[in-house]
């Protein structure tokens, strides 16, 4: 995923390495590269908070003329329940910085239930 960080072009890559046998959460590395000249790894962080981790759509959000944020989803589903963590990250001084994490939960039954927030 190509992004802008500090006005510079950067490349992010997400490597989902699965999960450990003794843990419910997976291991997914988000890597940041500078491709100007010889490719250079600038930073790498584990962004897995659950079993499956991937770029959310849209995966890139413009936050200023020279900066993008990256959106990652980490999730798992049981028979009728879904657990989702959405991570919003930005790059500052060529290092990933977590902006926020949004956790959501959904249920699927043979009826419809809605909740309106006041």
Biggest alpha carbon distance in the chain? 57
Q: Where are the domains of the chain?
A: 2-107
Confidence at 100, pLDDT banded by 50, 70, 90: very high
Contact (Cβ atoms closer than 8 angstroms) between residue 72 and residue 80: no
| Residue 31 exposure: Cα atoms within 13 Å on the Cβ side | 13
CA distance 34 to 12: 9
Question: For residue range 42-90, what is the model confidence (pLDDT) as tens digits?
Answer: 999 999 998 889 999 999 999 999 999 999 999 888 878 888 999 999 9
């Amino acid at each position: 995923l190509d992004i802008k960080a500090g006005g510079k072009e950067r490349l992010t890559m997400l490597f989902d390495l699965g999960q450990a046998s003794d843990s419910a959460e997976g291991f997914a590395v988000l890597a940041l590269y500078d491709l100007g000249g010889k490719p250079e790894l600038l930073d790498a962080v584990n962004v897995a908070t659950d079993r499956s981790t991937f770029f959310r759509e849209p995966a890139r959000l413009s936050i200023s003329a020279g900066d993008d944020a990256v959106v990652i989803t980490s999730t798992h589903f049981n028979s009728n329940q879904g657990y989702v963590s959405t991570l919003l990250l930005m790059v500052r001084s060529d290092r990933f910085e977590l902006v926020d994490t949004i956790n959501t939960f959904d249920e699927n039954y043979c009826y419809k239930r809605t909740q309106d927030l006041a």
